[in-house]
Amino acid sequence: MIPLAGPIVTDSQKKAVLRVLESGHFILGENVSEFEKDFAAYHDCKYGIGVSSGTSALNLSMLALDIKSGDEVITVPNTFIATANAIAFSGAKPVFVDIDEKTFNMNPELLSEKITSKTKAIVPVHLNGYPAEMKPIMEIANDAGIPVVEDCCQAHGAKCYDQSVGSFGKIACFSFYPSKNLTVCGDGGMAITNDESLERKLKAIRNYGQDRRYHHLFIGHNSRLSEISAAIGREQLKDLPIWTNARRKNANLYNKLLSRSNLMLPKEASWARPVYHYYVVRSDARDKLVSHLSSKQIGVGIHYPIPIHLQPAYEFLGHKKGDFPITEACADSIISLPSHPKMTETDVRTVCDAILELEG
């Protein structure tokens, strides 16, 4: 059996958890602050704000940027639902821009036409660990004076023009959910920024809005990351470069072994260094391929089968089928293959053999 995702739990993580349990200090201690510093630095940023999930990081980012009812926030319909939910929860209207099929991410050429006087933020997503094309996106956002919030929940350590994802926009949001490239073996997340005033605001909002005990600057939440989670995250961060290399090696081998298949394979643009959260291909006979691989105990996924603009929860936006044709075409043809660091070369070959066997 080859699972789709395979978080790695090491002895050093277990020891770190025990140390926290024995310390008796569970909330906002040294593990959180050290993890924040190191994780932010790993992504070329000054400040990290440990939070309870990637969703919390996105929600808090909207609050920190004062996004509210009547505003518009631009994102893509091809993402996990949490990206759009954070926008909707703030009271703002999610405005979608279609994707580029080469990256599965925001198409910069379609961005400008979506900007109005109400646009208060742009949220590109680095889906599947493949970076969005940040150079043109930042040029358009900067020209319009609109802050960018990067959704990096699937892209820990990915690079764009040799610069880390998460360091382009005002704030970037990461998830440490168990399937992600770095996990705290539960729920957890982090916002990172280079802006000191945003750091202070985000740290206050995650902690009841207080800047010091019982003094509340903002109406805040309890969205903190726990010491146990942060202790695991710190250990995972040490291994992340090795794991990222393993994912990239798996992707290279897939590219080689599947080069003569009928699948459409991911191509690395010269500016992109993806971290292959999943290895995502497109197939004309996707559903048949999914059942074939599943029958062989190979974990596969579809990320995501229903674009956000066609979800019942977002019916109120009034979209219909055909509004975002590239996203819709991808939703019908994509399949995520496992690329996690626990996979051996034999595992990758097993997956490829199964695919080629079906093609005959």
Ligand X SMILES: *Cc1c(COP(=O)(O)O)cnc(C)c1O
Contact residues for ligand X, defined by CB under 6 A = 53-55, 79-80, 82-83, 125, 151, 153-154, 175, 177, 187, 189
Cα(33)–Cα(197) distance, integer angstroms: 17
Cβ at position 82, least distance to ligand X in Å: 4
Q: What is the largest CA-CA distance in the chain?
A: 68
Report whether 87 contacts 59 (CB < 8 A). Answer: no
Kindly state the smallest distance separating residue 231's Cβ from ligand X, in Å: 18
Instruction: Tell which residue, 6, 31, 7, has the closest CA to residue 18.
Output: 31
Tally: H helices and E strands in the chain: 10, 16
Nearest approach in angstroms of CB 233 to ligand X is 12
**Residue number with the smallest Cβ distance to ligand X:** 54
In the bound state with ligand X, the residue whose beta carbon lies nearer, of 64 and 258, is: 64
Q: Which is nearer to ligand X, 79 or 229 (CB)?
A: 79
Nearer to ligand X, 5 or 355 (CB): 5
Name the residue nearer to ligand X (CB basis): 172 or 204: 172
Judged by beta carbon, residue 170 or residue 180, the one nearer ligand X is 180
CB 125 → ligand X: shortest distance, Å? 5
Query: Please, which residues bridge with residue 148 across strands?
Result: 122
Smallest gap from residue 130 Cβ to ligand X (A):
12
Q: Which is nearer to ligand X, 3 or 292 (CB)?
A: 3
CB 307 within 8 A of CB 78: yes
State the minimum distance, in angstroms, from the CB of residue 143 to ligand X.
Answer: 26
Q: 95 forms bridges with which residues in the sheet?
A: 74
Buried b (16+ CB within 10 A) or exposed e, 269-303: eeebbbbbbbbbbbbeebeebbebbeebebbbbbb
